[in-house]
Amino acid sequence: MNLNIHNAALTISAVKPSQYPPTAIPEIAMAGRSNVGKSSCINKLLNRNKLARTSATPGKTATINFYNIDEKMFFVDLPGYGFARVSREEQIKWGNMINTYLDIREPLCGVLLLVDIRHKPTQNDVMMYSWIKERFGEVTVVATKADKIGKTKIAESVALISKTLNLSEEDRVIPFSGEKGTGKEELWQEISRITGVEL
């Protein structure tokens, strides 16, 4: 791998556009509901345990976190959506923060939609899928926590995700485990294809 994934660091935790890194290197964002495993996904991809902060408590990521990977790309960890235990005001604030980033950020090459493989995608997931689809024409769904279900159930769960989101032929679902690394190589290939950054 030409990309030195060990040369990775959190550049900034932003809440407004003026704080976004002033660079033009490709960015790939990770979107999904609270506690779906975005931080765990980043940590597994980069072979780090604690680069992205994980928490058992949903709703902990309240900022847009930019992780610089070898000065060649950014992973962008977006706040989780759909967490009922934060105030409505806080939900609206996070929603506006996510929407602003997605709407105006020029280096953004794609958005990975993370969904929990154990559950049917939510209405918020459907809405996020529609936005990514409209913007980029294709969607890569990362079905997290694949180690939590039996191997025989994976195909069944992927079928339910595909049906609920109404995926089209150019979309794909990658079963992934932040614990065991299932789907890691496939996801890296997908990130390379989307960003144009050689691995």
- Report the pLDDT value the prediction gives residue 56, as an integer from 0 to 100: 57
In the predicted structure, residue 133 carries a pLDDT above the cut 90:
yes
Question: Looking at 48-52, 99-103, 159-163, which range is the least confident one?
Answer: 48-52
1 burial level (CB within 10 Å; 0-12, 13-18, 19+): exposed
- Tens of pLDDT along 22-45? 989 999 999 999 889 999 999 999
In the predicted structure, residue 57 carries a pLDDT above the cut 60:
no
Residues sharing a CB contact under 8 Å with residue 152, sequence separation 6 or more, in sequence order: none
Nearest-angstrom CA–CA distance, 158 and 119: 10
Question: Looking at 7-11, 54-58, 62-66, which range is the least confident one?
Answer: 54-58
Contacts 24+ apart (CB under 8 A), 50-55: 51/8, 51/9, 51/10, 52/10, 52/77
Q: Where do the domains of the chain lie, and which CATH numbers do they carry?
A: 8-195 (3.40.50.300)
Strand bridging mode 73-77 / 27-32:
parallel
- Nearest in space to 45 (alpha carbons), one of 161, 197, 155, 152: 197
pTM of the entire predicted model: 0.94
Q: How many residues does this entry show for the chain?
A: 199
- Tens of pLDDT along 80-131? 887 656 678 877 887 889 999 999 999 999 999 999 999 999 999 999 999 9
DSSP label at 121? P
**pLDDT-derived band of residue 70, with 50, 70 and 90 as boundaries?**
very high
CB contact at 8 A, 139 and 129: yes
